[in-house]
Amino acid sequence: MDCRMTLLLALGLSLGSAGCASTSQSTPAEAAPTPAPAPMPPPASSAQAADGSTGKRQPLPGTCVAWAVCRERMAEKEGVGPALKQSLYDQARDAYLQAIKIDPEHMPAYAGLARICQLQNQPEKALETYHQALQKKPTDATLWLEIGMCHCRAKQWELAIRSLDKAMELDPNNRRLTQALGFCQARAGRAKDSVETLAKVMPAAEAHYNVARMMRHMQLDDQCRLYVQEALRLDANHAAARGLLDALDGRAPLPAESDSTAVQIGFAE
């Protein structure tokens, strides 16, 4: 018994000294540059079985999604090189796929996976992902909205309108949906439909002004003038419309468009 105890103590001391040696060899002066984060799975959580034993279980889908979102944000940070960006996107994609495998009806995982595809200029794969989600939840208005916006980014205006119309059928009082449909109709050249749609969620003068902006964005100045004049007829004090008309008449420079306005008007062109 004494011999065995002596061997165990010796072994423990040997392992402990080896561990200390390995952690004490490097110094701050010798530290290498921070490496790229290695791929790692989302953390698993401990669970106690009915018989009292403790083991590992697969993470919740929400945990996978949260982990993937962190990887996305890291990839989008300024200064991240192409190789590291690709690695981070791949890790995020794998985590979204794991979440879908755990729960095939977890919609945030589909949305994240489609977003990764869009960030990597793969609109077809993004649409395929959204349609896979629709097979699980065909009455999800948000999914139809995202499909519509995918088509907008690809300048497939009529396909976009179809998807947004479907979204509106499912959620007719959604202001975001209504505005998206209205701007898409204007971008597709359906100005009258656009005014009618936008007027559901804003004053008529504002609806006409927004359609005028879209016509100007498309360099259709004659139509732009018609709609901005109607906006001023409806509201003579509409300062933005007055500024746009003055610009069309050469009395003032064209008003600058903010980034958010450009996205609204041009759908991220």
CB-CB contact of 61 with 99 (8 Å): yes
Residue 112, pLDDT > 50, answer yes
97 contacts: CB under 8 Å, gap ≥ 6: 109, 113
Q: Can you give the pLDDT at residue 256?
A: 62
CATH 1.10.10.60 for the 157-269 domain, yes or no: no
CATH topology of domain 57-138: 1.25.40
Query: pLDDT digit string (tens) for 25-83?
Result: 444 444 444 445 545 454 444 444 444 444 567 889 999 999 999 999 999 999 999 99
Tokens of 233: 């007829």
Query: pLDDT digit string (tens) for 221-256?
Result: 999 999 999 999 999 999 999 999 999 988 877 666
Could you tell me the pLDDT band of residue 162, with boundaries at 50, 70 and 90? very high
Domain chopping of the chain, boundaries: 57-138, 157-269
CB-CB contact of 268 with 153 (8 Å): yes
The Cα–Cα gap between 247 and 95 comes to 51
57-138 and 157-269 in the same fold: yes
The Cα–Cα gap between 56 and 49 comes to 10
The Cα–Cα gap between 225 and 63 comes to 52
User: Mind spelling out the 3-state secondary structure of 60-117?
Assistant: CHHHHHHHHHHHHHHHCCCCCCHHHHHHHHHHHHHHHHHHHHHCCCCHHHHHHHHHHH
Instruction: Name which of 197, 204, 201, 227 is nearest 215 in CA terms.
Output: 227
What is the mean pLDDT of the segment spanning 215-220? 93
Query: pLDDT digit string (tens) for 178-211?
Result: 999 999 999 999 999 999 999 999 999 999 999 9
Q: Which amino acid is at 102?
A: I
Could you tell me the pTM of the whole model? 0.70
Residue 174, pLDDT > 80, answer yes
